[in-house]
């Protein structure tokens, strides 16, 4: 892969045969993944470095991307995770005092094949109608491949359903972030694609954050003598993560407080005995309205998920796996998707969205306080 001259041809090919011709952006070559759209008007650096986007070609619905460049403070991980990148009008000039590189340069550096100059609004409307689907970006010599050959390559790629991608994004060895302020205790974070802002928020609440590889066992978790367990966001299909569900059930059986976000919410749902399903085109962006049923407030929240938990929205229900009464705590107001779960008889809750929201908004940041309070109250009750 090499850097793309401004007029290098590129084409986006969707699995239903729809094609969009444009120009190469970032690295030149071929990439294939699930094509999804993100509706945030800002925060593109946080988006592309979010491990939850592994395996996905991300389309930005905002037309102008790259204006503020890239910096060393805002990444959510140490690399770009998107499989490919689609923008309409990329900025070729960087204008921000913190920037030390252009988005284009970093895409080239990390080998991320992208496309620009296409009607991203038309692609978004097509995905909203037909649903997220596999697609490929072909640029440079690959753009000249026969149409049928390009489509064949797209069809050969695996669908997102059934994929377990945690091993691709998790740390290889455990890391520790020291607690800030009054220390609550050791927190076991199972890294399924955790973001740096999440770790920072947990440490700021007094947790000594132990980020553990996704292959960790319940004995590995017990070994750090945790006061609680946290499951992070991450890519893939929750129905393909039975091992993580089994570990979580052991955590719940031991009465350890639990908090999960995004993928962690889906895995809590499955641990409680609920099902999960794939959304038609998912929720991705930093402008999603969610109702907190506990307070009655509507929060604007950051999302990145293509799967959801299947649970009754009103009232309480019994956990099919014997964990007592459960309720849906948060509801997405765009489409009534389950956005949070709360167990009423064990110390466990989760949300489907991202309360750390490093790029904003910060409406849901209180959830980290709620988790710390849950852990402290559980500790007091045990004495």
At residue 44, φ and ψ (nearest 5 deg) are -65, -30
Residue 145, helix vs strand vs coil:
coil
Half-sphere exposure at residue 209, Cβ-oriented, CA atoms within 13 angstroms: 24
Write the burial class of residue 39 (CB in 10 Å: 0-12 exposed, 13-18 middle, 19+ buried).
Answer: middle
Question: Catalytic: which of 15, 299, 339, 356?
Answer: 356
DSSP states of 328-382: EEEEETTT--EEEEEESSSSEEEESS-TT-TTS--TTTHHHHHHHHHHHHHHHHH
Q: What is the chain's percent helix, strand, coil content, to nearest 5?
A: 25, 35, 40
What is the distance between the alpha carbons of residues 31 and 19, in angstroms, rounded to a whole number?
15
Q: Find the helix packing angle between 242-253 and 263-272, rounded to 10°.
A: 70
Question: Catalytic: which of 262, 305, 327, 339?
Answer: 262
CB atoms within 10 A of CB 343: 21
Inter-residue contact 80 to 49 (CB < 8 Å): yes
- Chain-centroid distance of CA 248 in Å reads 19
Q: Is 99 left (phi over 0), alpha (psi -120 to 50) or beta?
A: beta
Q: Which residue has the tokens 């009464």?
A: 325
- Known active-site residue 76: no
- Known active-site residue 149: no
What is the distance between the alpha carbons of residues 3 and 25, in angstroms, rounded to a whole number?
8
Write the burial class of residue 210 (CB in 10 Å: 0-12 exposed, 13-18 middle, 19+ buried).
Answer: buried
Question: Catalytic: which of 210, 283, 330, 354?
Answer: 354
What is the distance between the alpha carbons of residues 374 and 381, in angstroms, rounded to a whole number?
10
What is the distance between the alpha carbons of residues 234 and 48, in angstroms, rounded to a whole number?
13
Inter-residue contact 309 to 338 (CB < 8 Å): yes
Write the burial class of residue 122 (CB in 10 Å: 0-12 exposed, 13-18 middle, 19+ buried).
Answer: exposed
CB atoms within 10 A of CB 258: 26
- Known active-site residue 354: yes
Which residues are marked as active site? 262, 354, 356
């Amino acid at each position: 892969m090499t850097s793309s001259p401004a007029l290098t041809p590129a084409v986006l090919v969707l699995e239903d045969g729809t094609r969009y011709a444009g120009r190469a952006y970032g690295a030149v070559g071929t990439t294939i993944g699930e094509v999804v759209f993100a509706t945030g008007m800002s925060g593109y650096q946080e988006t592309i470095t979010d491990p939850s986007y592994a395996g996905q070609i991300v389309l930005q619905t905002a037309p102008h991307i790259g204006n503020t460049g890239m910096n060393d403070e805002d990444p959510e991980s140490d690399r770009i995770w998107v499989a490919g990148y689609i923008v309409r009008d990329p900025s070729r000039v960087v204008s921000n005092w913190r920037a030390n590189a252009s988005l284009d340069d970093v895409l080239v550096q990390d080998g991320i094949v992208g496309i620009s100059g296409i009607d991203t609004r038309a692609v978004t409307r097509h995905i909203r109608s037909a649903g997220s689907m596999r697609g490929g970006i072909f640029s440079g010599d690959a753009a000249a491949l026969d149409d049928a050959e390009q489509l064949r390559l797209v069809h050969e790629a695996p669908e997102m359903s059934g994929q377990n991608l945690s091993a691709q994004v998790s740390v290889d060895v455990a890391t520790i972030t020291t607690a800030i302020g009054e220390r609550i205790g050791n927190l076991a974070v199972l890294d399924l694609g955790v973001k740096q802002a999440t770790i920072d928020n947990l440490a700021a609440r007094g947790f000594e954050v132990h980020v553990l590889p996704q292959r960790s066992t319940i004995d590995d978790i017990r070994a750090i003598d945790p006061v609680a367990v946290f499951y992070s966001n991450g890519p893939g299909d929750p129905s393909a993560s039975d091992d993580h569900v089994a570990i979580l059930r052991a955590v719940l059986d031991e009465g350890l407080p639990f908090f999960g976000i995004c993928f962690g919410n889906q895995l809590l749902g499955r641990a409680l005995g609920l099902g999960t399903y794939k959304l038609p085109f998912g929720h991705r962006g930093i402008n999603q309205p969610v109702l907190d049923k506990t307070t009655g407030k509507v929060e604007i929240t950051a999302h990145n998920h293509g799967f959801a938990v299947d649970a009754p929205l009103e009232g309480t229900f019994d956990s099919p796996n014997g964990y007592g009464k459960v309720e849906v705590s948060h509801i997405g107001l765009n489409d009534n998707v389950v956005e949070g779960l709360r167990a009423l008889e064990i110390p466990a809750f989760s949300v489907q969205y991202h309360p750390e929201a490093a790029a904003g908004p910060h409406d849901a940041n209180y959830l980290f306080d709620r988790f710390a309070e849950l852990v402290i109250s559980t500790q007091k009750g045990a004495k």
